[in-house]
């Protein structure tokens, strides 16, 4: 498993300096079932807007 998860979404509650994700676990889903052809067909469900945390 990756030790460092990089993320550029600065308005996420889990965003940390150096574009690091500070969440304990990451949940990524496909837009259509359980298969994706490329990264544009996926979303990070771990995202929480910083102003809502």
Q: What is the pLDDT of residues 5-48, one digit of tens each?
A: 999 999 999 999 999 999 999 999 999 889 999 999 999 999 99
Residue ranges of domains in the chain: 15-52
Entry pTM:
0.83
Give the pLDDT confidence score for residue 18 in this predicted structure. 97
Say yes or no to pLDDT of 1 above 80.
no
User: Which pair of tokens denotes residue 22?
Assistant: 């500070």
Query: 41, 9, 14: which is closest to 28 by C-alpha?
Result: 41
Whole-number Å distance between alpha carbons of 50 and 53:
6
Residue listed under structure tokens 């979404």: 9
């Amino acid at each position: 498993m990756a030790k460092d998860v990089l993320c550029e979404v600065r308005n996420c509650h889990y965003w940390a300096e150096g574009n690091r994700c500070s969440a304990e676990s990451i949940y990524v889903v496909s837009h259509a079932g359980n298969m994706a052809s490329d990264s544009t067909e996926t979303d990070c469900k771990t995202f929480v807007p910083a102003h809502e945390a």
